[in-house]
Amino acid sequence: MRIAATAKVDLWVVVGLVATAIVAGRGTPPVEVSTTRDIQAAVLSNGFAVMEGAPRDRHVIAVDWDGQQTLRYAVPVVAPEARVAGTAGGVAVGWLENRKLRIARVTGDGVLGEASEWGKRVKQLCEGTVTGEDHWGIGFLENDGTVWIVSGPTAKRATGAEAMTTTRTVWCGVTAAGKKRALMGRDQHNKMWISLCGPKSCESAVQVPIAKKDTFAGIACHEKRCLLAVRDAKGTANLGWYGTATRKLTWWKPLTDATPDSAFSVTAAGPDAFAVGYVTREGATTIRVIESGSMVRAWADPSSTDVPALAWANDRLLVAHAGGNEVAPLPR
């Protein structure tokens, strides 16, 4: 592995504070070679990025707005978990190493730029990432229960910000929320909360209306609304339209065609719509969902049984899947 001492990642920091400590595990888990090839997607200033592979065989791929591949680089990161981000300087990767979050730009095939380090005794990465036309972000949970988001601009025109929030948490997740960022957590009693973070601070954390017996499966947000993916106690997959201002669910709707073991990929697709990727009995699919509850198929692959990774920007939807990376028009 070659690490070049060049090209620091352009960063600013969003901080979330948590009120209670979490018991740490002992040391860093050993690296294992997974047979599952993870696929993640992110927005770049001039297209999209995809990271795919297993810990000892990861690659990043960049595509332009028309879906044409512009680069493919090996990523010399063997940590069990990693996150991809589209920064103002290009594709970056974040991972845990020696209880620190490390973030570095991918500057060549198997080459990373100088890595920045974040945290004191990091327990785990937050699920998901912040990715969109304005900013990116990677979240992590400290051993003392503090949740942090390391964040920065996707394009040069974006500006930095700081914010904080306080709640009890043992699990964390992050996602974009228009020009804001959504910080999520779950407490020891399996109650889930969400807080939207703006330029100066985060809003008060509010409880997400998910029953304790239900299983959270995915979320994407705008400033005023979120789309939730949840499995109920019977295993049925449901989507819920949640108003962040009203703090109420507008509707719950079952996804009756989802397979019992399907995961979900959810992304915002403009200010009034979301895209959801999952697996049906007829293969992988992606649907566009709007506030009325209307769901229209936007992409499908009958031969695939893997959940596609999604990202949306510039009125285009990236669908990254085992068979390739496709960019489809999806106006806001």
**DSSP assignments along 6-31, one per residue:** ------EEEEEEESS--PPPSSPPPP
How far apart CA 121 and CA 23 sit, in angstroms, is: 11
Predicted TM-score (pTM) of this structure: 0.86
Tell me which residue of 77, 117, 106, 119 sits closest to 6, measured CA to CA.
106
Q: Is residue 113 part of a domain?
A: yes
Q: Looking at 202, 228, 257, which one is the last position of a domain? A: 202
Number of domains in the chain: 2
**107 and 167 inside one domain:** yes
Tell me which residue of 57, 74, 59 sits closest to 109, measured CA to CA.
74
**159 and 260 inside one domain:** no
Residue 148 has a pLDDT of: 84
Q: Is residue 32 part of a domain?
A: no
Q: Are 219 and 227 in contact (CB under 8 A)?
A: yes
User: Encoding tokens for residue 109?
Assistant: 């095939």
Q: Cβ neighbours of residue 156 under 8 Å, at least 6 residues apart?
A: 45, 88
Which residues on neighbouring strands pair with residue 241, listed in sequence order? 227, 251
Provide the b/e sequence for 4-43 (b: ≥16 CB within 10 Å): eeebebebbebbbebeeebeeeeeeeeeeeeeeeebbbbb
How far apart CA 10 and CA 29 sit, in angstroms, is: 29
**152 and 267 inside one domain:** no
Residue 142 has a pLDDT of: 87
In this structure, the chain runs to a length of: 332
Alpha-carbon distances, residue 302 vs 116, 196, 274 (angstroms): 42, 37, 22
Strands 90-97 and 82-87: antiparallel
Q: Are 317 and 295 in contact (CB under 8 A)?
A: no
How far apart CA 324 and CA 252 sit, in angstroms, is: 32
Residue 24 has a pLDDT of: 27
**141 and 279 inside one domain:** no
Q: Are 63 and 78 in contact (CB under 8 A)?
A: no
**217 and 297 inside one domain:** yes
Residue 159 has a pLDDT of: 38
Q: Which residue is it, tokens 């939207």? A: 196
Residue 246 has a pLDDT of: 87
Residue 298 has a pLDDT of: 95
Q: At 222, is the secondary structure helix, strand, or coil?
A: coil
Would you write out the chain's pLDDT as a tens digit for each of its 332 residues? 333 333 334 444 444 433 222 222 223 333 333 345 799 999 999 999 999 999 989 999 999 999 999 999 999 999 999 999 999 999 999 999 999 999 999 999 999 999 999 999 999 999 999 999 999 999 998 888 778 888 889 887 543 444 444 446 788 999 999 988 998 888 878 888 898 887 667 788 888 888 888 999 999 999 899 999 999 999 999 999 999 888 899 999 999 999 999 999 999 998 899 999 999 999 999 999 999 999 999 999 999 999 999 999 999 999 999 889 999 998 88
**181 and 255 inside one domain:** no
Residue 59 has a pLDDT of: 97
User: Encoding tokens for residue 210?
Assistant: 């998910």
Tell me which residue of 289, 318, 331 sits closest to 39, measured CA to CA.
318
* ∠ CA 237-238-239, rounded to 5°: 135
Q: Is residue 332 part of a domain?
A: no
Expressed as residue numbers, the domain containing 10 is 1-22+37-202
Residue 199 has a pLDDT of: 65
Q: Looking at 202, 223, 243, which one is the last position of a domain? A: 202
**94 and 175 inside one domain:** yes
Q: Cβ neighbours of residue 269 under 8 Å, at least 6 residues apart?
A: 275, 288, 312, 317, 330, 332
Residue 189 has a pLDDT of: 80
**122 and 262 inside one domain:** no
Q: Looking at 185, 202, 219, which one is the last position of a domain? A: 202
